[in-house]
Amino acid sequence: MEIENIIQKVLISAIPILFAIVLHEVAHGYVAFKLGDPTAKMLGRLTLNPIPHIDLFGTVLMPILLYIFTNGQFVIGYAKPVPINTSNFRNPKRDMAISAASGPVTNILLAALSFIILKYVLLPASGIASSGFFGTIIEPLALIFTASVTINVIFATFNMLPIPPLDGGRVLMGFLPYRQAVALSKIEPYGFFIVIIFVATGISSYIILPVARFILSIIRML
């Protein structure tokens, strides 16, 4: 892969990846705050300033490299987790599930918004301003918003895998009876290794990509 092509892909993907991950984490903290837990707010994590959220490897290097080398087909990443104290919830089991679900839901909404801006603003404008200063701005913006749609959908789909500590695992624990939820929670210390195996073996692609394509087909109907 030529260095110019790599640099272009990094520049196109960096902004939507950063927005996807930061808004995902802010959504967790904001919904937890609305449900009674002020921990994230007190620690300054309910901010769109990316600096408090950034993990150098998980937020920057890993998602960009995955986006480049899978040609945008597979993107995962993470930020510094937003702290949540479930003892502040009225219903800890339910409210934790709602807080967990808010991250992927935010990513799907962000994908939908990106598609709407692309379809109804940038693409029509590109036909009007096909050359000149505005043309040079609209083209890269269109590429960025196109990447945002794919990145947010894949990120949301991946995070909804029912493996704790991923959001899907926490949501599933909220629906399971108490004993089964406790049993699932015991997987959490090993969850990251399970996820790595899923990704390394390609198993995750058979689960994530069909679901991501289905979500994308719905978004494209907007």
State the pLDDT at residue 218: 96
Residue 202 pLDDT class (50, 70, 90 cuts):
confident
Distance separating the N- and C-terminal Cα atoms of the chain: 35
Query: Which residues are known catalytic residues?
Result: 25
Predicted TM-score of the model (pTM): 0.89
Distances (CA, A) of 189 to 155, 166, 200: 21, 11, 19
Tens-digit pLDDT profile for residues 41-70: 999 999 989 888 888 777 777 777 777 777
Task: Residue 175: name the closest of 87, 98, 104, 81 by CA.
Answer: 98
Check residues 11 and 37 and name the one with the higher pLDDT: 37
CA dist., res. 43 & res. 161, Å (int):
28
Which burial class, exposed, middle or buried, applies to 159 when counting CB atoms under 10 A from its CB (0-12, 13-18, 19+)? buried
Kindly provide the b/e burial profile for residues 59-74, where b requires at least 16 CB atoms within 10 angstroms of the residue's own CB.
bbebbbbbbbeeebeb
* pLDDT tens-place string over residues 148-158: 999 999 999 98
pLDDT in tens, 18-36: 899 999 999 999 999 999 9
The one-character DSSP state at 83 is: P
Omega cis (within 30) before 165: yes
Structural domain boundaries in the chain: 3-219
Which of 118, 138, 119 is CA-nearest to residue 128? 138
For tokens 């959490």, the residue is 188
Distance CA(174)–CA(180), nearest Å, equals 10
